[in-house]
Amino acid sequence: MCFSSAVFSAVQVKHDGDLILDLTVPEPVEVIYTSSDSAVGEQICNVTQHSLQCKAEYTHRTSLRYPELTLRDVMYSDSGRYTIRNTEYKEDIRVYAVSVTDMRSFNIFVILVLVLKVTFVSGHYTMAKLNQSATLNCTSRCSGLMEWIQPRNKHVTVAWCNQTSCRSEEGYEVSHDRYLKDDLSLTITKADYSKRTWYTCQCGGTDVCHVTLRIEPVEYTRRMNPGEPLYLDLPITENVKVTFNKRGDPGSQSPVPVCTVDGRMVHCDSEYKSRASLKSSLTLNEVKKSDIGVYTVQDTDNDEVIATYHVTGETLFIVNVQVISGCQYA
């Protein structure tokens, strides 16, 4: 689910019960706790879709089953305000005002209050094939101005309609006939990595749909002779890290760090430093038998796997490349 602005929830929890915090967005977030008698908050947890890191005093009481973060065995001292904040854009997504009570029977009341007005919209993602058209579906009655915007790109408008006509930026299409029939869907004519982001459809300035565009996995195969360089393509602009699992050990050992790429800067582990270079791709020179295994390219900004390279070889090396889409937020 996605929300048009910070959502405030008043929650009453029984002493020794569980407090469940809905993280609501796919991006990395931090949880900030402000006690009832303090105006200063403190960060208690960092959360991604796949990891949870909390302060020592919370570690044994917290668990993550995305998108829900659970704080168990709440105490009176846990009363206060819990803020869910997007760490990349420093945006408050949701605020919980928590009151811990000793009532024998109780109900949890959640009051959704937006800064200006109550607005709740559905959110999902569309998986697209690379370089093919994709449709971001949205159905809602709209008698006024309809706009598709990119909230992560300074709220740029890519398409809009009113009762008389529609217009769109290059690479995007909307249908006036469908708009008049309450179909507000946006078509991306050629989905590529630059268009992966979160899109919002608004009617008269009010959010009605949130859709994230992702790219379907793409697989490549290429043949290499021993001693040739291995090229690891980096199709996104975010910071990435490359890790390696030796062949025969998938999942049985921790991945070995190979390199991290920050913009045009590359930092590699000592074992790879002399053989690695960065141009249009990350290059590992003079591939040898000990290099056989699985290389993973991961978007560190959004905690998404971008590409997995399965390197095998006998007399010749066969390189199977699987590119897995992540979330790029423009």
Domains and CATH numbers, the chain: 7-102 (2.60.40.10), 125-215 (2.60.40.10), 218-313 (2.60.40.10)
- Looking at every residue in the chain, the average pLDDT score rounds to 80
Lookup: tokens for 295: 């290389």
What local confidence, expressed as pLDDT, does residue 86 receive?
83
Distance, in Å, from the CA atom of 179 to the CA atom of 191, rounded to the nearest integer, reads 22
77-81, 178-182, 211-215, range with greatest mean pLDDT: 178-182
What local confidence, expressed as pLDDT, does residue 197 receive?
87
Write the DSSP string, 105-163: S-------B-SSS---BEEEEEEE-TTS-EEE--B---SS-EEEEETTTTTEEEEEE-S
What local confidence, expressed as pLDDT, does residue 312 receive?
75
Q: How many CA atoms lie within 13 A of 197 on its CB side?
A: 19
Q: Is the pLDDT of residue 105 over 70?
A: no
315 vs 151: which has the higher pLDDT:
151
Secondary structure class of 179 (helix, strand, coil): helix
What local confidence, expressed as pLDDT, does residue 179 receive?
97
pLDDT tens digits, 179-209: 999 999 999 999 998 898 889 999 999 989 9
What local confidence, expressed as pLDDT, does residue 317 receive?
41
Angle at 283 between CA 277 and CA 287, to 5 degrees: 120
106 vs 252: which has the higher pLDDT:
252
pLDDT tens digits, 264-295: 789 999 999 999 999 878 998 988 888 888 88
Mean pLDDT, to the nearest integer, of 146-158? 91
Residue 215 pLDDT class (50, 70, 90 cuts): confident
What local confidence, expressed as pLDDT, does residue 187 receive?
98
151 vs 147: which has the higher pLDDT:
147
Amino acid at 246: K
Residue 38: in which H helix or E strand, if any?
none
Mean pLDDT, to the nearest integer, of 300-329? 58
What local confidence, expressed as pLDDT, does residue 48 receive?
86
What local confidence, expressed as pLDDT, does residue 219 receive?
65
Distance, in Å, from the CA atom of 273 to the CA atom of 258, rounded to the nearest integer, reads 9
Mean pLDDT, to the nearest integer, of 128-150? 94
Residue 117 pLDDT class (50, 70, 90 cuts): very low
Among 6-10, 52-56, 221-225, 255-259, where is mean pLDDT lowest?
A: 221-225
Among 137-151, 220-234, 316-330, where is mean pLDDT lowest?
A: 316-330
Whether pTM exceeds 0.85: no
Residue 66 pLDDT class (50, 70, 90 cuts): confident
Distance, in Å, from the CA atom of 238 to the CA atom of 165, rounded to the nearest integer, reads 37
Among 148-152, 160-164, 238-242, where is mean pLDDT lowest?
A: 238-242
pLDDT > 90: percent of the chain: 34
Q: Is the pLDDT of residue 103 over 70?
A: no
β-strand pairing of 240-246 with 230-233: unpaired
Mean pLDDT, to the nearest integer, of 231-238? 85
Residue 314 pLDDT class (50, 70, 90 cuts): low
